[in-house]
C-alpha cells in the first residue's frame, strides 16, 4: 500500500495540535503534582519536576479532612448501583415499547417524549424534598433511585430492540417461550453491545454529577468524588497547590486505566449510540 505522507501533512499537523491541546493540561497537572509548593509558585512555571517527590500524594491521602479513597469508592459504588437499576428498570420497558401491543402505548410514549425536553433541574427541588421526607438524605438511596427511570436509556434501547429481526422471536414463540423467555433468551443476548454502550453512558453521567450529590449528601463519609474535589480545592488551593493537583491526578488515574483497557468497546459503543441518536 502506497502512503503519501505529504498529502496528509495538514491532517497530521492538525491532529498533533489537537493532541497537545488535549494532553498538555493532564501532563502538566501530573508533573506539578510531583513538586513542592515553592517549586510550583515560580515564574516561569516549571514543567519538568527538578526532583520529583511523592509526598503530596501521601499527604492528600492521609489528611483527616479529606477522604479521597472513600469518596472514590462512594462514587464507583453509587454509579454502579445506579447503572444496574437503570438497566433493570429501563430495558424491560424499552422491550414493551419496541415489541408489544398494549392500550395506552402512544399516550405513554408521548409523555416520555415530552419529559425528555424538560431540563432535569425542574425535578431538583421536589425530589430533594421527597428525599428529605423519606429520610434518604445523606444515604446511597438518594444517589441511586431518583434518576432510575432514565427516559434516554429507554429511547436508545427501544431503538436497538426494534432493529432485531422479528423472525428470531417467532422461532422462540414456536418453541413455546413466554414473553419473559423471549426477552431474556432472544432479545437480551443479541443486545449486549447496546446494553454495554448504554451502561457506560449512564455510569459516566452519574459518576460526573456534581449538583445532586452536593445537595443530598452532607457528611464527609457520604460525599462523592466530584463533591470531594470541590472540598479539596476550596480548602487547600490557596495554601498548597500541588496537593490539589495530586488529588486531581488521583481521581483521574482509575478512569484512564479503565479507558485504556476498554477503549475499543467504549468508542464503538458511543459511536453506535450516536447513530441511534441520529
Assess 124 for contact with another protein (CB under 8 A). Answer: yes
Q: Which of 66, 74, 136, 147 binds another protein (CB under 8 A)?
A: 147
CB of 58 to another protein, least distance (A): 19
Residues 232-271 that bind another protein (CB under 8 A): 232-233, 237, 241, 244-245, 247-248, 251-252, 255-256, 259, 263, 266-267, 270-271
Binding mask 28-57 for another protein (x = CB under 8 A): xx--x-------xxxxxx-x----------
Q: Which stretch, 48-56, 94-102, 135-143, 157-165, contacts another protein (CB under 8 A)?
A: 94-102
The position carrying cell 462512594 is: 74
- Provide CB contacts within 8 A for 47, sequence distance 6+: 28, 31
Q: Which of 95, 160, 161, 240 binds another protein (CB under 8 A)?
A: 95
CB of 162 to another protein, least distance (A): 15
CB of 171 to another protein, least distance (A): 18
Binding mask 54-73 for another protein (x = CB under 8 A): --------------------
CB of 76 to another protein, least distance (A): 12
Q: Which of 180, 218, 261, 265 binds another protein (CB under 8 A)?
A: 180
Q: Which stretch, 4-12, 56-64, 135-143, 159-167, contacts another protein (CB under 8 A)?
A: 4-12
Amino acid at each position: 500500500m502506497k502512503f503519501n505522507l505529504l498529502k496528509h501533512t495538514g491532517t497530521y499537523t492538525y491532529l498533533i495540535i489537537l493532541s497537545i491541546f488535549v494532553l498538555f493540561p493532564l501532563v502538566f497537572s501530573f508533573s506539578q503534582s510531583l513538586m513542592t509548593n515553592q517549586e510550583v509558585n515560580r515564574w516561569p512555571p516549571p514543567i519538568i519536576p527538578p526532583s520529583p517527590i511523592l509526598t503530596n500524594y501521601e499527604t492528600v491521602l492521609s489528611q483527616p479532612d479529606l477522604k479521597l479513597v472513600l469518596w472514590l469508592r462512594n462514587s464507583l459504588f453509587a454509579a454502579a448501583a445506579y447503572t444496574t437499576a437503570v438497566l433493570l428498570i429501563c430495558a424491560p420497558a424499552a422491550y414493551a415499547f419496541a415489541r408489544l401491543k398494549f392500550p395506552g402505548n402512544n399516550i405513554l410514549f408521548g409523555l416520555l417524549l415530552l419529559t425528555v425536553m424538560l431540563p432535569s433541574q425542574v425535578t431538583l427541588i421536589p425530589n430533594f424534598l421527597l428525599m428529605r421526607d423519606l429520610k434518604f438524605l445523606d444515604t446511597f438511596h438518594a444517589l441511586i433511585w431518583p434518576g432510575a427511570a432514565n427516559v434516554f436509556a429507554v429511547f436508545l434501547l427501544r431503538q436497538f430492540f426494534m432493529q432485531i429481526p422479528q423472525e428470531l422471536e417467532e422461532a422462540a414463540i414456536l418453541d413455546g417461550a413466554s414473553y419473559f423467555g423471549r426477552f431474556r433468551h432472544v432479545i437480551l443476548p443479541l443486545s449486549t453491545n447496546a446494553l454495554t454502550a448504554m451502561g457506560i453512558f449512564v455510569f459516566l453521567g452519574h459518576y460526573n454529577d456534581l449538583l445532586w450529590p452536593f445537595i443530598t449528601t452532607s457528611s464527609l463519609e457520604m460525599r462523592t468524588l466530584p463533591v470531594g474535589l470541590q472540598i479539596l480545592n476550596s480548602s487547600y488551593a490557596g495554601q498548597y497547590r500541588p496537593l490539589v493537583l495530586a488529588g486531581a491526578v488521583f481521581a483521574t488515574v482509575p478512569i484512564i486505566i479503565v479507558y485504556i483497557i476498554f477503549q475499543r468497546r467504549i468508542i464503538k459503543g458511543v459511536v453506535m449510540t450516536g447513530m441511534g441518536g441520529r
